[in-house]
Structure 1
Amino acid sequence: MSTWKIREIKSEDNQQVKDLIRSVLVEMGVPKVGTAYEDKALDDMTDTYKGERRAYFVVEENSKIIGSAGIAPLTGLEEEICELQKMYFLPEARGRGIGMEMITKCLQFGRDHDFKKCYIETLPYMENARKLYHKNGFEVIEKPLGNTGHYNCTVFMIKDL
């Protein structure tokens, strides 16, 4: 039986989510500029993902947030393409099928909100993340789409919903 659950973010989760995202980025050696590390959105993820056609989910285990991911319209291509955003898991969450379940939940949200495609940006050395995206049908494309502001992310992937 799993001891974790995926649920929508609440305002009391904001600091834990910010700390989780930043600690994973530091662990992975990600640049602090041109990536999610410096996003203003991290200060209030609940507010960032409030509104239509957007959601942010957390993985909770024993009252601790061990992973999170969001889905929202891709800036500049809002009508048809959603973006899988800020998907990060602490080491204790990895290799347990949680990422697969999180992607499934996010992609279903995209389908339920009439998006045609889902886009994601990542980094070449985030190999496990790229494998997970590929397993879920994401294909690498040559150039970025939309306007994410994450100029240090150099791997672009898309999937038909």
Structure 2
Amino acid sequence: MNTATASAPQGTAFHIRPMTPGDSSAVAAIIRSVMTEFGAVGTGFSIEDPEVDDMYSAYPAPAAGFWVVERDGRVAGCGGFAALVGGDADTCELRKMYFMPELRGLGAGHALMEIVLDAAASAGYRRIYLETLASMEAARALYTRHGFEPLDGPLGCTGHGACNAFMARPLG
């Protein structure tokens, strides 16, 4: 697992670190909670992905990485990258980037995004892709601030047919 970590800007209380096997249940709970909050349940959403219950094993370094964000000693956010299934070898996918409400607006998304982008570029990828929902406006704004641009349709074979917003950006 990539060893990149980050601490919060002065005055905020979060810490980003690589995921460990012991984080699996907390990460699964975050994914299920946030997806449900945004109505993203059922077939075609990442909440149904088999990897959700064992995210640690699904992101082997150096071709992938996954991090958790802790606040007050509790895992409250997560995100990572891995090769885009069914995509070209130069493209990875931003995956499972979710934050509980208590982390939103503190800069955790920005900090985690910087780690993911740097690690994906270091892993040799030249482009990063993501799928989301148009209704996840704050997330899409974060992606846009980090150089992601909208695409007309999906790339690869993610299995997330219910997503309706697609974005990508170059790395490096």
1:128 aligns with 2:141: no
**What's the TM-score once normalised by structure 2's chain length?**
0.90
- For 1:3, which of 13, 28, 44 is the aligned residue? 13
> Counterpart of 2:7?
none
Distance 2:129 2:167 in 1: 6
Shift of 1:51: 4.0
Deviations 1:83-102 (A, max 9, x none): 10000000000001110111
Distance 1:90 1:78 in 2: 32
Distance 1:51 1:78 in 2: 19
Distance 1:20 1:31 in 2: 13
> Counterpart of 2:154?
144
Q: In the alignment, residue 29 of structure 2 is paired with which amino acid?
A: D
- For 1:12, which of 1, 5, 22 is the aligned residue? 22
> Counterpart of 1:34?
44
**What's the TM-score once normalised by structure 1's chain length?**
0.96
Deviations 1:9-55 (A, max 9, x none): 11110001000110011111113221111110011111111243101
Distance 1:3 1:154 in 2: 33
% identical equivalent positions: 39
Q: Give unmatched runs, 5+ long, in structure 2.
A: 1-9
> Counterpart of 1:154?
164
Out of 28-37 and 12-21, give the one that drifted further: 28-37
Runs of 4+ in 1 over 6 A off after TM superposition: none
Shift of 1:78: 4.8
Distance 2:73 2:145 in 1: 30
Distance 2:87 2:50 in 1: 21
Out of 122-131 and 72-81, give the one that drifted further: 72-81
> Counterpart of 2:96?
86
**Residue correspondence of structure 1 range 22-101 to structure 2 within 5 A:** 22-101=32-111
> Counterpart of 1:116?
126
- Backbone CA RMSD of aligned residues: 1.0
Q: In the alignment, residue 77 of structure 2 is paired with which amino acid?
A: G
